[in-house]
Structure 1
Amino acid sequence: MFTYEGANALELAGLVGKIAQTDGDYDTAIRALKLRRCSFTTDPMPCIYGLSLALIVQGGKRILLGDEVFDYAAGQTLITTVDMPVVAYITRASATEPFLGMLLALDARVIAQLSAELEFATPLQDSATRGMSQVQLDEGLCDALTRLVRLLEEPSLVSSLAPLIEQEIVIRLLNGGHGPSLRRLVAAGSPSQQIAKVVTWLKQHYTEDLAMNDLAALAHMSPSTFRQHFRALVGMSPLQYVKNLRLLDARQLMLNERLDAGSAAIRVGYESASQFSREYSRLFGEPPNRDVKKMREATSRKHEK
């Protein structure tokens, strides 16, 4: 039985560490692949996880999705099939053994194409299940991911070989423990696919006034069935999902465009500044102005080092 340890772990950690030599997030020559290094544990940070495969190469992390807790460590993979507002933080990292992670963005069109071409031993159940799944890394997937990172050492071959290895990775995911979640996402007319379409629409229209009946109609479901499937896939109600999107966007507007809290609230669709402040504090742990000030100060200290 394959276990992620010894030579396998050392090789992949060495390859990632060679690129990510200091703390931070790293884009790579492979557009879909990002790497991360962090030498300290972090505070909980609300963020959005998109359609992707994440692997912890070294260290540990915790993710909160609604009321659910996902603890995962080196050698464990996490698939997200729709955009998920989560709270994430690194729980195991040090200067001598930093957190090392890799994130591979997945393409729904590639998943759909390969899923249609493959034959599966078990039929797919017609139900929406959580859009986030956690599975232990297997030998074949470990080998493919290692070859993908190693390919960065041969820049002239990246454009021709990376797409082939990425396809192999998707095929292995479809045939492994993550397979049912990915297959439901692309199965025509499935509840997961219908909810995923609504999630995509919400990302573009979350600042607008939204009626539950209209969202349900978009998914071709009754309001009660829509709420049930939405919560099953996303881990929270449609209202809470929209609220999180608005608050995350407002935070970025205050940080990047230096908007005040009232202006940011209006921009993302809030009519009440006091309601915005209450819900912001509930999600981020601080009132808007205090939270943004702390983040700017933390960024300044990081740049001074």
Structure 2
Amino acid sequence: MNSSEFREFGENVAEARLRDELADSIARIAGGDGVHETGLPGVAGIRLSAPSGPLPAVYHPSLCIVVQGRKQATFAGRTYVYDPLHYLLVSTSLPISGRILHATPEQPYLCLRIDLDPSVVDDTLARLGADAPARADDDTQRLMLVRTSLPLLEAAVRLMRLRDEPATAPLLAPLILREIHVRLLTGEMGARLRAVCAIDGAARRVGNALALLRERYAETLPIAALAEAAHMSPSALYAHFRDVTGMSPLQFQKRLRLQEARRLMLGEGLDAAEAGHRVGYESASHFSREYRRLFGAPPRREVATAHVVD
């Protein structure tokens, strides 16, 4: 074994140990299937114990590090499979179809999700300045699959260890989260991510409209209000919105509403009528039709199934 092979072997062993530690950390906070808050800002652990069919959802800007199992994400006709060797990077809010490919009760799918903070991204881009590589050739790719690196895993493990340090976590967590942002922006897909996140770019301006929709999804938002948030004309926003998300603003808002309604019913126990009303539907029958069209089953059936499983 030559020196480069020995170094690669050592890195693989180190990565395996770090993944095991992350898996233990996620398993500790995840008493059952679902998304679980870690107590750290913008950081969640995800656990699922069985494969699933395709499930449409809106993914928000985030880093998804899988430490056990395998998942597939499909967007704009392209499929991305992420696993312990590859993380998924979501650069802006996107309508994605997700599917768990490998998970069992004994070895569930475990994932650490870290939200991307726009203010940290902006500050990092400003600090990179002239040292930043040129814009990527393909800056239209909003979803990225990247080989998981040892430094990124080390930072993620140090971040999760802070759960056992309540006195210092508020001070140290922002520093480690900033380190993770820097590694993403300077890593393998850094040039492409910087192109998408550029403050003066169309994708970033559309991101401002997406943020407004995410905040006020239950309201009736005119295209003029979204265009104002994006600093674009309504016609320009409509065109760029479709380029980024593959949907119109109204279609995207509908997806947000239905996803939140599903969470309210399955996660908080609301009935279908109340969930639909809370996310902005005035008609229960309209809500039921839209829900069934997206998820393949009427909301009352999903609630009943969840109660049977419980």
State the TM-score, normalized to the length of structure 1: 0.81
Q: 1:17 maps to what in 2?
A: 23
Instruction: Tell me the SS of whatever aligns to 1:118.
Output: helix
Distance in 2 of aligned mates of 1:32 and 1:210:
27
Counterpart-to-counterpart distance in 2, 1:3 and 1:100: 24
Per-residue CA deviations over 1:172-220 (Å, capped at 9, x if unaligned) read 1111134245434553332122111111111233333344455345423
Equivalent residue, structure 1, for 2:215? 204
Task: Work out whether residues 81 and 181 of structure 1, in 8 Å CA contact, stay in contact via their aligned partners in 2.
Answer: no
Q: CA deviation at 1:152?
A: 4.4
Asked whether the 8 Å contact 2:136–2:192 carries over to 1, the reply is no
What does 1:101-140 correspond to in 2, within 5 Å?
101-119=111-129, 120-124=131-135, 129-140=140-151
More deviation, 7-16/55-64:
7-16
Distance in 2 between the 1:58 and 1:5 partners?
A: 18
Residue 88 (str. 1) matches residue 94 (str. 2): no
1:7 to 8, 13, 21: 13
* Matched AA of 1:279: E
Give the corresponding residue for 1:258. 270
Q: Percent identity?
A: 36
CA shift, 1:33, in A, is 2.8
Give the CA RMSD over aligned residues: 3.2
Distance 2:275 2:40 in 1: 35
Cα pair 2:19 2:84 within 8 Å, conserved? no
Look up the match of 2:259: 248
The one-letter amino acid of 1:162's match is A
1:192 aligns with 2:203: yes
Q: Quick one: structure 1 residues 3 and 173, their matched pair in 2 at CA, closer, same or farther if it must change by over 3 Å? A: farther
Letter in 1 for 2:259: L
Q: Judge conservation of contact 1:40–1:98 (CA < 8 Å) in 2.
A: yes
Deviation at 1:47, TM superposition (A): 3.6
1:284 maps to which of 273, 278, 295? 295
State the secondary structure of the residue aligned to 1:124: coil
Contact 2:68 2:109 in 1 (8 A): yes
Q: Which runs of 5+ in 1 are unaligned?
A: 301-305
Q: Determine if the alignment matches structure 1 residue 77 to structure 2 residue 83.
A: no
- AA aligned opposite 2:46: R
Give TM-score, length-normalised by structure 2: 0.80
1:60 paired to 2:66: no
Whole-angstrom distance in 2 between the partners of 1:26 and 1:77:
19
Deviation at 1:61, TM superposition (A): 0.4
Matched, 1:50 2:48: no
What residue number does 1:40 align with?
50
Distance in 2 (alpha carbons) for counterparts of 1:195 and 1:126: 20
For these two proteins, the number of residue pairs brought into alignment is: 298
1:31 alignment counterpart: 41
Contact 1:12 1:57 in 2 (8 A): no
Deviation at 1:43, TM superposition (A): 4.0
CA deviations on 1:101-148 (whole Å, 9 max, x unpaired) are 111222211111111011434233699634322211123323322333
In 2, Cα distance between equivalents of 1:151 and 1:3: 28
Deviation of 1:53 (Å)? 1.1
Query: Do the aligned partners of residues 217 and 177 (structure 1) sit closer, same or farther apart at CA in structure 2, a change above 3 Å counting?
Result: same
Mapped partners of 1:204, 1:26: distance in 2 = 21
Out of 285-294 and 159-168, give the one that drifted further: 159-168
Alignment of 1:108-187 (within 5 A): 108-119=118-129, 120-124=131-135, 129-152=140-163, 156-180=167-191, 182-184=193-195, 186-187=197-198
| 16-25 or 88-97, which deviates more | 16-25
- Asked if structure 2 preserves the Cα contact closer than 8 Å seen for 1:4 and 1:75, the reply is no
Which deviates further from its counterpart, 196-205 or 143-152? 143-152
